[in-house]
Chains A and B, each alone.
Chain A
Amino acid sequence: MIPVLIIDDDVELTKLLEEYLQGEQFDLSAAHDGPGGLEKALNNTYSVIVLDVMLPGMSGLDVLKQLRQKSSAPVLMLTARGSELDRILGLELGADDYLAKPFNPRELVARLRAILRRTTNSTPSAAMPVHIADLELHPESRSVTCSGKPVTLTGAEFDLLYTFLRSPGKIISREDLTQAALGRPMSPMDRSIDVHVSNLRRKLGTYDGNHERIKAIRGSGYVYLLPGEQP
């Protein structure tokens, strides 16, 4: 059984989910408010934390902010449908993925599996460090340095960067990037990959001041540019 924590104030929903997820080999624990959820998340080891944005007492985004200061446990956010802002904020604060509520529980299971696949398979022992210009990426330690300075990336951001660095200078479609970085196929109207790319841009900075590392190609996807390879 895989330990999963859900922080959601809907007690009946978490009970139903517990029953449903049991059949899918997940052991679901539930917390029904922000502070309680944060405490549980910090004091136990969960493979994934499912976090509702709308929580009484303390907003899910605040929980996420505090959680990220101490823990890098994968977080799947539940947002209200149509609330794009919550999604962007959540992903920016370091959530790994989001799901709009109400959701199909099969979709929830698929997202949980995707996150787990990423976090457990991501230690290919023979993987060689990648070194491109001022950037160094070490797959085995999942660490990145930029001009010698360490860069803190979330799991999704690391996988995204690794995907880019394995084929620099080549256009990679948003579908492929979603599959590689989030471990799941892209769904329609899905903007999470764009938010992750934008976070990555911000964290890595630009080449000598004003040249973007990652360029968007309209209608195609994104490309990681090599220095001097400015269009």
Chain B
Amino acid sequence: MSFRSLFVKIFLCFWLAAGVVIVALNVVLWISTASDPNPERRHGAFGEALNLYAESAVQVYDREGPQAFEQYAGRSRKEAGSEIDLFDGYGHPIAGPSSPDTAAVAGEIQQTQQHVSHLTPLGRLTWGRAVVAPSGKTYIFVTRLRQPYVPRHLPPMGIFLTVIASGIIAYLLARYLTSPVKKLQSAVQSFAEGNLAARVTPELGNRKDELADLGREFDHMAERIEALIDSQKRLLADISHELRSPLARLSVALELARKNSNEKAAPALDRIEKEGDRLNKLVGQLLALTRLESGAEKITPETVVLEDLVQQIIDDANYEAKPQHKEVIATHLEVCRINGSPELLRSAIENVIRNAVRYTPSGGAVEVSLRWKLDTAELTVNDQGPGVPEAELKHIFEPFYRVSEARERSSGGAGLGLSIADRTVKLHGGSIEASNSATGLRVTILLPLAPNHNQHDAGQPQAAFSPASLASG
């Protein structure tokens, strides 16, 4: 738990407040009583009453004899619950002693000539003092009070225990106040991670305060977002199906037309086919981009062996580039493990490499390198094309952005590949950047490495999971 968390703050505030009050109160009381020079007065009215009690008991014995004293003591015991023992000036018992404690107290008084009070742990007070009777005789009076003796300030141990107890209460209070915040936080986190079904109200029980209101508002919001995303996903699937079905029919009809027509129609039919392909590609890219931007695309992260993925993409790109006398070369491939979706990463990197191939003149080569630094994988794709004017560099990742109308058309790009790459890389927590190099355009992709990146080369290939890593070994 962070030291700056709400829980710690509330807990410390409560505890500090309670502790300060307890300590201050006791200090004030202690000062006011400890500074009083008269020891009897330290007990206040209670002390005065005890003094009177002692004097009257001694007077009864001194004036009226032992019998009257017994009566007096009996009444005391019955009505006030207190035992009275009387000793002579040398500490020898006259009446009592009712317990060895009182005898010990009498001895103490005889020696110190001061009044003594002992508080037993159970709150029983043994109190005594020497009393000079009117007759001049000295008596030692000791009483044991059943009534608990309430001190007006706590001993240090008591203060300590009270502070601990207030700490426990502060802890419980802080937990009561912050636990819904914690639950809300974990629900929001889970929602942000893509669990659109995350709700907080069932967790809060029947709480009915402002925090519970906040939880309900969150649930309300989550419900709306979930419904929106669901409908968007359905819409995407429907569009995908509805746009492609006519395209599928178109291509079959086209082939039928080709069979039933003569040579003259061939160029036009070729054109129809080409445009159909273009439309189809565009629909696919548009759907991919919409999925990425709407957040409907959910990554189930798995370990991606990036160097194998890149190598495969290079192999595939070479397959396509060879007929145009172009080449894709891996200049440097370092071992890189990252977490992400192999399919999405494949299409992102493929788009960047294909784009590079497109602008590289016949006979040229695209250079790809993969390195890692600290916790980042760096993939650079260098083409030998004409590059992009500096001012337009940052726009090339925008959908349908065209650097040069004429050139783009002849190269047949739809203008969405780099946008898809950009969104995909960002979805993986990375960044993508374009710059002009000595030979042409350089696109640099940075992706965070997986935490287990350094555990590679353990002998066995990573148990693999995707077509991307199937060829690893």
Contacts and interface: CB of A to CB of B under 8 A. Distances in A.
A197 B287 CA distance: 31
A13 B252 contact: yes
B255 A105 contact: yes
B473 A101 contact: no
B315 interface: yes
Nearest to A107: B251
A188 B470 contact: no
Interface in B278-311: 280, 284, 287-288, 308, 311
A10 B242 CA distance: 11
A82 interface: yes
Contacts of A216: 461, 470-473
Contact of B473 (A10, A103, A106, A212): A212
A36 B461 CA distance: 44
Contacts of B244: 80-81, 101-102
Given A19-B256, A23-B259, A194-B467, A102 B473 contact: no
A218 B273 CA distance: 36
A102 B251 contact: yes
Given A54-B241, A198-B470, A212-B473, A102 B280 contact: yes
B55 interface: no
Interface string A208-231: 001010011111001000000000
Contact of B248 (A84, A101, A186, A217): A101
B467 A103 contact: no
Nearest to B333: A218
Contact of A16 (B240, B253, B319): B253
B320 interface: yes
Contacts of A17: 252
Contacts of A1: none
A130 B256 CA distance: 46
Given A101-B248, A216-B470, A16 B311 contact: no
A84 B467 contact: yes
A13 B256 CA distance: 12
Contact of A217 (B460, B461, B473): B473
Nearest to B320: A188
Contacts of B350: 189
B167 to A, nearest CB: 55
Contacts of A82: 284, 287-288, 347
B311 A219 contact: yes
Contacts of B311: 218-219
Nearest to A210: B460
B249 A10 contact: yes
Nearest to B276: A102
Contact of B467 (A101, A191, A210): A191
B144 to A, nearest CB: 85
A222 B199 CA distance: 49
Nearest to B245: A10
Interface string A1-24: 000000000101100110110010
B343 interface: yes
A124 B386 CA distance: 56
B470 A195 contact: yes
A44 interface: no
Contacts of A13: 245, 248-249, 252
Which of B350, B464, B467 counts the most A-chain CB atoms under 10 A from its CB?
B467
- In this complex, which of A12, A194, A212, A215 has the most chain B Cβ atoms within 10 angstroms of its Cβ? A194
A104 interface: yes
Contacts of B284: 81-82
A62 to B, nearest CB: 17
B251 A104 contact: yes
Interface in B444-473: 460-461, 464, 466-467, 470-473
Contacts of A114: none
Contact of A218 (B248, B316, B472): B472
A20 B255 contact: yes
Contacts of B256: 16, 19-20
A159 B202 CA distance: 56
A76 B350 CA distance: 26
A85 B466 CA distance: 9
A101 B241 CA distance: 10
Interface in A171-213: 174, 186, 188-189, 191, 194-195, 197-198, 210, 212
A80 B240 contact: yes
B247 interface: yes
Given A101-B248, A194-B470, A81 B253 contact: no
Contacts of A217: 473
A195 B467 contact: yes
Contacts of B288: 82
Contacts of B251: 102-105
A8 to B, nearest CB: 9
B463 to A, nearest CB: 11
A10 B253 CA distance: 14
A23 B470 CA distance: 39
Nearest to A231: B473
Contacts of A197: 470
Interface string A80-112: 111011001000000000000111111000000
Top 3 closest A-B pairs, CB basis?
A216-B473, A102-B248, A191-B467
Given A82-B347, A84-B467, A102-B244, 16 more contacts: A12-B249, A13-B249, A20-B259, A54-B241, A80-B240, A81-B284, A82-B284, A82-B288, A102-B250, A106-B255, A188-B316, A188-B319, A189-B350, A194-B471, A198-B464, A212-B461
Interface of B: 240-241, 244-245, 247-253, 255-256, 259, 273, 276, 280, 284, 287-288, 308, 311, 315-316, 319-320, 343, 347, 350, 460-461, 464, 466-467, 470-473
Interface of A: 10, 12-13, 16-17, 19-20, 23, 54, 80-82, 84-85, 88, 101-106, 174, 186, 188-189, 191, 194-195, 197-198, 210, 212, 215-219, 222
15 contacts: A13-B252, A16-B249, A82-B287, A101-B248, A102-B250, A102-B251, A102-B280, A105-B251, A105-B255, A189-B350, A194-B470, A198-B464, A198-B470, A210-B460, A222-B471
